[in-house]
């Protein structure tokens, strides 16, 4: 297990920002560790919109917000003392996105499994995820990224910041 | 004002009462104006409107003004014609509220996907003069499954031993149909027991109404799975059982863990009411209870467990 590489699963939410703050506090002045912040694109469901123009506009808005949030997360980690060249960001576009340009994409059925795929492919030893603290009913119906990561993770450490 | 349908009806439907002859519509946007005696022009065909469809639930009738029961003047066949109605609405599930969206283009896409598959209602989409995707649906030649179950007049034990194995077999096929959709990244969107029909000719189950969608990112098929869970509870129980509907003696044995995770008065651990229900089936039902710690993530997992329950029924000589 590579303890020198940390992957933060990030969606721009308050919980995700807390997980960035936690990692910053944990490894801020230790210049040996690589910390990457990854966001998986969640395009709006096309069927929710009356036409493609409205759908595309919403996808663009979400993407721009997510890229800004990634930049902020990166800035927070650097400000905490992690060397600039040891902090990376990753934005994985969705295969269903109308804006997609990248060749690699997320099929969009599970954010959690996408994060774990990135962790495995990148050789990360630690995945960090924020947790909202949802009710049983919400988890039953909507699912939970953090719960699924905990259940499906193998061969790495999972830090859950609640 | 739309032109009269008189000439057309005189020629193609001479039996239609002249006093009810309405107007011709090639643009269906204003669907509230279209009613009995009007004719919708869709592509090369003409559809005489007979009435608005209505949904009957909980003893109430809820008119659906955008869904018309029609007669095709060219073929003489009956069709259900669904006009475009964009709406978002809150769906209450237990204590939670989920935003649902009605999506004509989702239903159009699924109708194309399931063409020729008897596990799903059949139909096609024709675009009207205003480019509205109007869905022309074939009438499903069958009866609602829940109505058939509710009409049974027999003790639960007899039902469970004699009829349920076949019901379960068919329901597993219906779940496989939903899995088939999920495998293609589509969701049914409105899996309810009154959306599952039993076909008169084959006895096969057939899903209807795919125009709802919802935005659950981490569990995109969660609502479909929840719907399948509700249906299997109903089928195993030969109806729905609540804490209010059972005797005080039985009620004393029921805890909150025996009830639905979403509806605290709905009993899902039906083995407490019907002890001959095998453990394998109880295990499926418990996955939808408040006691559950792990939930079904995919239709395939539910199908696997239902198949185990089916085998258990066989082992018990049912």
Tell me the DSSP string of A27-71: HTT-TT-EEEEEEE--PPPGGGSSSHHHHHHHHHHHHHHHHHHHH
Q: Chain B window 182-211: which residues touch A at a Cβ cutoff of 8 Å?
A: 185
Compute CA distances B156 → A146, A151, B159, B238, B241, whole Å: 42, 39, 5, 7, 12
Rounded CA gap, A144 and A134, in Å? 8
Does any CB of chain A come closer than 8 Å to the CB of residue B105?
yes
pLDDT in tens, A9-57: 998 888 999 999 999 999 887 778 999 999 998 888 888 887 889 989 9
Q: What is the pLDDT of residues B82-122, one digit of tens each?
A: 999 988 888 888 888 888 889 998 999 999 999 999 999 99
Selecting from B98, B218, B292 the residue whose C-beta is nearest the C-beta of A112 gives B218
Question: Which contacts of A132-140 are long-range, i.e. CB under 8 A and separated by 24 or more positions?
Answer: A132/A13, A132/A15, A133/A162, A136/B261, A136/B290, A137/B94, A137/B95, A137/B96, A137/B261, A137/B262, A138/B96, A139/B295, A140/B222, A140/B226, A140/B261, A140/B262, A140/B292, A140/B295
Determine the residue among B130, B190, B217, B293 to mutate to test chain A binding: the one whose Cβ has the most chain A Cβ atoms within 10 Å. Answer: B217
Count Cβ–Cβ pairs < 8 Å, chain A vs chain B.
63
CA distance B78 to chain A (A): 29
Residue ranges of the alpha helices (H) in chain B?
A: 6-12, 104-113, 145-150, 156-158, 164-183, 222-237, 248-251, 279-286, 299-315
> Do A141 and B105 count as a contact with CB atoms less than 8 A apart?
no
**pLDDT on residue B317:** 42
Task: Give the nearest partner residue to A110 out of B218, B223, B292, using CB atoms.
Answer: B218
Count, residues in chain A:
162
Measured between CB atoms, which of A44, A47, A142 is closest to B218?
A142
Which residue of B96, B103, B106 is in closest CB contact with A138?
B96
**Which residue range is the domain that position A12 belongs to?**
2-161
Q: Which residue of B has its CA nearest to A142?
A: B219
Radius of gyration for the alpha carbons in chain B, expressed in angstroms and rounded: 22
pLDDT confidence of residue B245: 94
Percent of chain A with pLDDT over 90: 55
User: Which tens digits make up the pLDDT trace of B65-90?
Assistant: 999 999 999 999 999 999 999 888 88
Cβ of A45 within 8 Å of Cβ of B213? The answer is: yes
Q: Is A128 helix (H, G, I), strand (E, B) or coil?
A: strand
A147 touches chain B (CB under 8 A): no
Q: What whole-number distance in Å separates Cα of residue A103 and Cα of residue A105? A: 6
Q: H-helix or E-strand containing A92?
A: strand A87-92
CATH code of the domain made up of B142-315? 1.10.510.10
Cβ–Cβ of B86/A138 closer than 8 Å? no
CATH number at A111 reads 3.40.50.620
Q: What distances in angstroms separate CA B12 from CA A69, A101, A146, B168, one per listed residue?
A: 63, 54, 63, 46
**Are B217 and A112 inside 8 Å of each other by CB?**
no
Interface predicted TM-score of the whole assembly (ipTM), two decimals: 0.78
Total structural domains in chain A? 1
Is A94 within 8 Å of chain B by CB?
A: no
Would you call B216 and A142 a contact, using CB atoms and an 8 Å cutoff?
A: yes
Q: Are B248 and A80 in contact (CB under 8 A)?
A: no
Interatomic CA distance for residues B105 and B314, integer angstroms:
43
CB contact under 8 A, B216 and A139: no
C-beta separation of A128 from A17 below 8 A: no
What is the chain A residue with the closest CA to B109?
A47
Is B98 within 8 Å of A141 when comparing Cβ atoms? yes
Q: Is residue B296 within 8 Å of B229, Cβ to Cβ?
A: yes
Distance from CA of B217 to the nearest CA of A (A): 7
pLDDT given for residue A107 in this prediction = 67
The answer, for A139 touching chain B at a CB cutoff of 8 Å, is yes
Pair of tokens at residue B73: 């003047």
pTM above 0.90, yes or no: no
CA A110 to chain centre: 12
Task: State mean pLDDT over A113-117.
Answer: 93
Tell me how far apart the alpha carbons of residues A131 and A109 are, in angstroms, rounded to a whole number: 19
Quote the CA–CA distance of B139 and B137 in Å, as a whole number.
6
Assess contact for B60 and B118: CB atoms under 8 A: no
Q: Which of A50, A109, A137 sits opposite B220 (nearest CB)?
A: A109
Question: Per-domain residue ranges for chain B?
Answer: 9-83, 142-315
Q: What percent of chain A has pLDDT over 70?
A: 97
In DSSP terms, A36 is beta-bridged to A7, A88
Segments of chain B scoring below 70 in pLDDT: 1, 57-59, 217, 315-318
| B203 token code pair | 């006895």
Q: Which residue of B has its CA nearest to A42?
A: B217
* Cα dihedral: A13, A15, A16, A20 (round 10): 130
Tokens 């499954």 locate to B145
Of B213, B217, B226, the CB nearest to A47: B213
**Cα–Cα distance measured from residue B315 to residue A132, given in angstroms and rounded to the nearest whole number:** 45
Taking the C-alpha atoms of residue B167 and residue B205, their distance in angstroms, rounded to an integer, is: 9
- Check B216 against A136: CB less than 8 A apart: no
Instruction: Give the C-alpha separation, B312 to B76, whole Å.
Output: 49
Average pLDDT, chain A: 89
CB contact under 8 A, A112 and B105: no
Give contacts of B220 with chain A, Cβ < 8 Å.
Answer: 108-109
Query: To 10 degrees, the CA torsion angle through B208, B228, A148, A97?
Result: 0
Cβ separation A137–B96 shorter than 8 A: yes
* Closest among B179, B80, B197, B220 to B143, alpha carbons compared: B197
Name the region of A133 (left: φ>0; alpha: ψ -120 to 50; beta: rest): left
Strand pairing report for B88-93 and B78-82: unpaired
- Give the residue from A5, A14, A4, A13 showing the smallest Cα distance to A118: A5
- pLDDT at position B136 is 97
């Amino acid at each position: 297990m590579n303890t020198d590489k940390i992957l933060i699963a990030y969606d721009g939410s308050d919980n995700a920002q807390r997980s960035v703050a936690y990692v910053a506090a944990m490894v801020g002045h230790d210049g040996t560790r690589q910390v990457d912040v990854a966001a998986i694109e969640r395009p709006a469901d096309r069927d929710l919109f009356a036409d493609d123009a409205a759908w595309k506009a919403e996808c663009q808005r979400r993407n721009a917000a997510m890229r800004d949030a990634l930049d902020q997360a990166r800035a927070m980690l650097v400000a905490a003392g992690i060397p600039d060249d040891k902090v990376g960001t990753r934005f994985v576009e969705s295969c269903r996105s109308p804006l997609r340009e990248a060749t690699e994409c997320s099929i969009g059925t599970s954010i959690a499994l996408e994060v774990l795929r990135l962790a495995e492919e990148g050789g990360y030893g630690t995945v960090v995820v924020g947790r909202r603290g949802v009710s049983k009913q919400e988890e039953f119906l909507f699912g939970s990224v953090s719960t699924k990561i905990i259940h499906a993770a193998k061969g790495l450490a999972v830090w859950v910041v609640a | 004002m739309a032109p009269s349908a008189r000439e057309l009806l005189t020629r193609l439907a001479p039996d239609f009462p002249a006093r009810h002859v309405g107007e011709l519509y090639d643009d269906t946007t204003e669907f509230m104006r279209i009613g009995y005696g009007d004719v919708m022009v869709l592509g090369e065909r003409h559809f005489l409107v007979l009435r608005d469809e209505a949904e009957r639930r909980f003893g109430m009738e809820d008119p659906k003004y955008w869904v018309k029961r029609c007669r095709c003047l060219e073929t003489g066949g009956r069709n259900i014609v669904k006009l475009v109605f964009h709406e978002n609405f809150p769906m209450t599930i237990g204590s939670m509220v989920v935003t649902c969206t009605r999506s004509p283009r989702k239903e159009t896409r699924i109708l194309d996907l399931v063409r020729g598959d008897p596990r799903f209602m059949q139909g096609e989409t024709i675009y009207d003069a205003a480019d509205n995707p109007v869905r022309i649906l074939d009438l499903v030649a069958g009866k609602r499954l829940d109505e058939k179950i509710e009409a049974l007049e027999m003790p639960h034990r007899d039902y469970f031993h004699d009829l349920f194995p076949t019901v379960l077999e068919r329901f597993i096929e219906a779940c496989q149909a939903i899995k088939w959709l999920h495998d293609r990244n589509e969701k049914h969107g409105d899996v309810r027991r009154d959306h599952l029909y039993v076909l008169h000719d084959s006895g096969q189950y057939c899903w209807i109404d795919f125009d709802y969608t919802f935005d659950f990112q981490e569990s995109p098929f969660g609502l479909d799975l929840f719907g399948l869970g509700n249906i299997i509870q109903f089928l195993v129980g030969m109806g729905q059982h609540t804490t209010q509907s059972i005797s005080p003696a039985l009620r004393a044995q029921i805890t909150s863990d025996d009830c639905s995770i979403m509806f605290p008065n709905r009993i899902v651990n039906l083995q407490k009411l019907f002890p001959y229900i095998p453990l394998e089936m109880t295990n499926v039902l418990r996955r939808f209870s408040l006691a559950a710690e792990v939930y079904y993530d995919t239709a395939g997992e539910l199908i696997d467990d239902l198949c185990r329950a089916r085998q258990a029924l066989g082992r018990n000589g049912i």
